[in-house]
Structure 1
Amino acid sequence: REAGKVAAQHGERLAAEGEICWGGMHSWKAMIDTLEATGMPETVGFQADLAHTYLYLMGYNAPEAALLKEGYTDEEFWPAYKTLTDALRPWTIDFHVAQNDGSVHGTGSHDKTGRHCRADDPNGKLDIAKCSTFWLQDAAARGMKHICWDGCMFSNEILEDARTWETILGKMIEVDEAL
């Protein structure tokens, strides 16, 4: 709430990152509770990252909030994804296109956190374009002016390869065409 007050004083908006390793944001239900507790929907919103919000579905750090179980089918995925996005979309003011292979890691007692994977990773769990359409419904009405690719957790060798960026651009074009 205090950070939201500072943002409002400067005519800015504040987006809470939907990452499963942050306290108060470790599940989609906890994230909604945190957003509602600020009492500042005009200033404080949500940053939806496809890679990280996928992990909300699985409930890695909050099993009680899981919408899917390992081994889910497409018939189970899409209704669960709709539940997730219907709940968080109204708060979403920032959107990151990304891919996730469902893997998580943690260090010591640290809660699990997710990983991005390459846009064309054969183990990617998401139909990037289709999933993006769920988050981007009425995006302009929520003040969203742009989207970005989020997937920088790769070696320099991968990032310096033009094919990496051509693949990412291709996925971003697919998102645009799906809207």
Structure 2
Amino acid sequence: MLGNGNGATTAHAFPKLHNAAWPGVVGKGPDSEPPIDLDTMLDLTAAARVDGVGFDGVDLFLYDPHVSIDSTTEDLKALADRVRSRNLVIGSVVAPVWPPTGGGPALDEGEGRARFLQQVRKACGIAKTLKELGIRPYGVVRIDSACSPAQWAEDPQGNQAKIAETFKQAAAIARDHGERLAAEGEICWGGMHSWRVMVDLLERVGQPETLGFQADMAHTLLYTLGHNAPEDRILPEDYDWSDHATLDQALVTLTDALRPWTIDFHVAQNDATVFGSGSHDKTGRHCLPNDPNGKLDIPRHARFWLRDHHGEGQPTKAFQHICWDGCMFPNAVMMKPETWNSILSAMLSVRNAHGWDA
């Protein structure tokens, strides 16, 4: 057992435990609830405690009102001070590659691709600066295709090739900045909306040292159900959720295909339904870890992502931190300290079961 400096003990030192700040922004706005500002999200994260153990850091969305994609070095120094003052660090950051945030669809060979790559370039610059400021010891830059499955389906092969080319160019930008990109597996992104299509895209890019996969337990569960890609469903149509062995085997199939590419990981809960709020398309519903409708046994099912040999082997150690993602919760839920304590408890259960010390 390891001491954490305040008398508490934890089973392992790694992976470090992060909270995502972007649930304060994603799914919020004029057509939903107002955003929760970054300082409040940082305070909620820093205050969480379970048996004396707290979060180690935060992952950030590089978009107003949290962190401007056009932040200056002075802005980033101030950000680093705000995070450091709460005894936290920064890990992965999300590039705002979507058209409403200044980006463009990755399947557009013209202006859309140019805007997409511009946002990746800015995000990688911010990530590099935060690393140089000593506040970001690890993490990746997260991207997706910034287009819908319906757009992609207009020309599956042609659009898949276009997205792959955009991602190759984005990977070159990341490499020039000493960064890595993680493509988010989520059913609402065209070319990434099914596990087979996601593997195909990663293989087309073919640069695992620079562009890998970002797995979120809530989103990837929907891969097994074939949402937006019924032909790639793994679980049977009449699946009974009390049949745990069948779910385990489905997750073995899924994670054996995507684990070798996984370089960023979100702990999450899902009730096997989709949900969207604000301007966010419907995707895997994030539930609180103890939601009675949740279909995941979080520490048990995390093992399929975090351990090799079908989830039965040694920790892969493919990333130094894991993050909780809980987008589109009501503000009233997010403002409760007990929400973050329950989340932190789930994160600790994952690290205690699948962590390592060096």
TM over 0.5: yes
| Larger radius of gyration between Structure 1 and Structure 2 | 2
CA distance in 1 between partners of 2:276 and 2:300 (Å): 29
Q: How far apart in 2 are the matches of 1:43 and 1:74?
A: 35
Instruction: Tell me, in whole angstroms, the C-alpha distance in 1 between the residues paired with 2:206 and 2:331.
Output: 42
Within-5 A mapping of 1:52-71 = 52-68=219-235, 69-71=237-239
1:116 is matched with 286
SS at match of 1:131: helix
Equivalent position of 1:146 in the other structure: 321
Contact 1:93 1:139 (C-alpha < 8 Å) held by counterparts: no
| Residue aligning to 1:26 | 193
In structure 2, what is the Cα distance between the partners aligned to 1:83 and 1:149?
Answer: 24
Which of 179, 192, 216 is 1:12 aligned to? 179
Which residue matches 1:169? Answer: 344
> Given the alignment, which residue of 63, 76, 79 partners 2:246?
76
Aligned to 2:214: 47
- Unpaired runs of 5+ residues, structure 2, are 1-167, 308-314
Residues 21/152 of structure 1: CA separation in 2 closer, same or farther (3 Å cut) = closer
Give the Cα separation in 2 of the matches to 1:176 and 1:31. Answer: 27
Q: Mind listing any 5+ residue stretches in structure 1 that lack a counterpart?
A: none
Q: Which amino acid aligns with 2:332?
A: E
Aligned-residue CA RMSD (Å): 1.8
- The percent identity for this pair of structures is 59
Q: Which amino acid aligns with 1:41?
A: P
Secondary structure of 1:46's partner?
strand
Deviations 1:15-37 (A, max 9, x none): 00010111110100000000000
Deviation at 1:177, TM superposition (A): 1.6
TM-score by length of 1: 0.92
Q: What is the CA–CA distance in structure 2 between the aligned matches of 1:98 and 1:126, rounded to whole Å?
A: 9
Q: Secondary structure at the match of 1:45?
A: strand
Alignment length, in residue pairs? 175
From 113, 117, 132, the equivalent of 2:302 is 132
SS of alignment partner, residue 88 of structure 1 = helix
Aligned equivalents of 2:297, 2:326: Cα separation in 1: 16
Q: What displacement does 1:40 show?
A: 0.7
- Answer yes or no: is the 8 Å Cα contact 2:276–2:283 preserved in 1: yes
Q: SS at 1:147's partner residue? A: strand
Match of 1:38 among 202, 205, 216: 205
Secondary structure, in 3 states, of the residue corresponding to 1:133? helix
